[in-house]
Amino acid sequence: MTNAPATFHPTRPLPYGRQHITEEDVKAVTDTLQSDFLTQGPKVAEFEEKFAAYLGATYAVAVSNGTAALHLCALALGVAPGQRVITTPITFAASANCVLYAGGEVHFADIDPTTALIDLRQVRHLLESHPRGHFHGLIPVDFAGLPVNMEEARRLVDEFGLWIIEDACHAPGGFFVDSEGNEQRCGSGHFADLAIFSFHPVKHIATGEGGMITTNRPDLYEKLLLLRTHGITKNPDLLRQNPGGWYYEMQTLGYNYRMPDMLTALGISQLRRADAGLARRRQLAASYDAAFAEMPTVRPLAGAAGHAYHLYVIQVEDRKGLYDFLRERQIFAQVHYIPVHTMPYYQELGWKTGSLPRAEAYYAHCLSLPMFPDLTDEEQQYVIDCVREFVQG
């Protein structure tokens, strides 16, 4: 291979992720704008049903964004002052913040350096080094789109009586293979009590803002419906009295975390292309893997058949050098993530840099390259050529 600069030059900047919007998507939204319902209409339930079916879950609850989804999950599971919840430092801050919203305490378990996922052995160590009942919940994150083995996570937390919220924002359509050889989709409800998704434009399904919670537990489903809409119900089966058709009851303190029909219509349209998008992501990942296999100083994170490739992450010695080099060439790679416990806010809560060495070592070298379904082969080759030029240059 030569170090000659790439000859192809992309006609657009290449971010690490971006939405893919078609004419059908546009029509789905404009049709809804001309219908009777901009919000609280039929598209919400249709999106929920189709999304639940896609994952094989029983229930789905559409909400305003992934962060709202996490907040409602924490409330539905009863997070409150005095409760302690374990999550990973390598995630978006919202995975941890939701515990604080509900008054609970966040704890971190370090990552497995080959996957950057929460290391369940570290979780076990935390659980075993405290009295039973000390911790109440676990929030594993399917980081980059690589599913956490939720069967193993379930077995572990069952020994100690914890619940699980799976943050599956990176992994709609992703799966792991369980101990009986079955593919288990993220958010299927078989192992985690609740799972959450985001429809932010960089995620697989883009609606601008939007989120979803999936579960197989009817008790949690009922709580989520109440919490999403001010704690108010009109369901005759749940009312304590029913003096007339106007009547509703506020039974708990809830929020307005609804997703409007305009956006759920876009979600339904996007969901139709979810498998095609996932197939393209896996194809792009395979091409990156093949190219980087010949560049010993470029180390991609471990792959897997069920990886959903929200991100394609490499680790390099001089990450800042590569980041700046790519930026000058219109490639906007990104760092996922700055460890949550090193954020000033978490430092004020008492977390110390140095306390989670694997997460911090990973952060020092990681970089997410462009990964989105309409990235062309030529554009990807340009990214690969630029990385090669940097590491060999």
Ligand X SMILES: *Cc1c(COP(=O)(O)O)cnc(C)c1O
Strand partners, 108: 87
Do 186 and 213 meet the contact criterion of CB atoms below 8 Å apart?
Answer: no
Stretch that binds ligand X, among 30-38, 62-70, 354-362, 377-385 (CB under 6 A): 62-70
For CA atoms 361, 362, 363, 365, give the dihedral sign.
positive
| Binder among 92, 160, 325, 363 for ligand X (CB under 6 A) | 92
Backbone angles phi, psi at 163, to 5 degrees: -95, 170
Do 46 and 70 meet the contact criterion of CB atoms below 8 Å apart?
Answer: no
| Binder among 10, 147, 211, 339 for ligand X (CB under 6 A) | 211
Query: Could you report how far apart the first and last alpha carbons of the chain are, in Å?
Result: 12
Report in angstroms how near the CB of residue 48 gets to ligand X at its nearest. Answer: 16
| Binder among 119, 166, 167, 261 for ligand X (CB under 6 A) | 167
| Binder among 141, 268, 291, 375 for ligand X (CB under 6 A) | 141
Is 91 one of the binding residues for ligand X (CB under 6 A)? yes
- The owner of tokens 């009922």 is 222
Is 94 one of the binding residues for ligand X (CB under 6 A)? yes
Is 229 one of the binding residues for ligand X (CB under 6 A)? no
| Binder among 83, 97, 115, 198 for ligand X (CB under 6 A) | 198
Burial state string for 197-232 with b = 16 or more CB within 10 A and e = fewer than 16: bbbbbbbbbbbebbbbbbbbbeebbbbbbbbbbbee
203 carries an active-site annotation: yes
Report in angstroms how near the CB of residue 169 gets to ligand X at its nearest. Answer: 4
Report in angstroms how near the CB of residue 78 gets to ligand X at its nearest. Answer: 21
Considering 203, 223, 234, 352, which one is annotated as catalytic?
203
* Residues 288 to 347 in contact with ligand X, rule: CB under 6 A: none
- By C-alpha distance, which of 226, 203, 208, 213 is closest to 70? 213
| x/- letters, 168..187, toward ligand X (CB under 6 A) | -xx-----------------
Q: What angle do CA 71, 73, 79 make, to 5 degrees?
A: 80
Strands 194-198 vs 163-167: parallel, antiparallel or unpaired: parallel
Nearer to ligand X, 200 or 388 (CB): 200
Which residues of the shown chain bind ligand X in the complex (CB under 6 A)? 65-67, 91-92, 94-95, 141, 167, 169-170, 198, 200, 211
Q: Which positions are annotated as active-site residues? A: 203
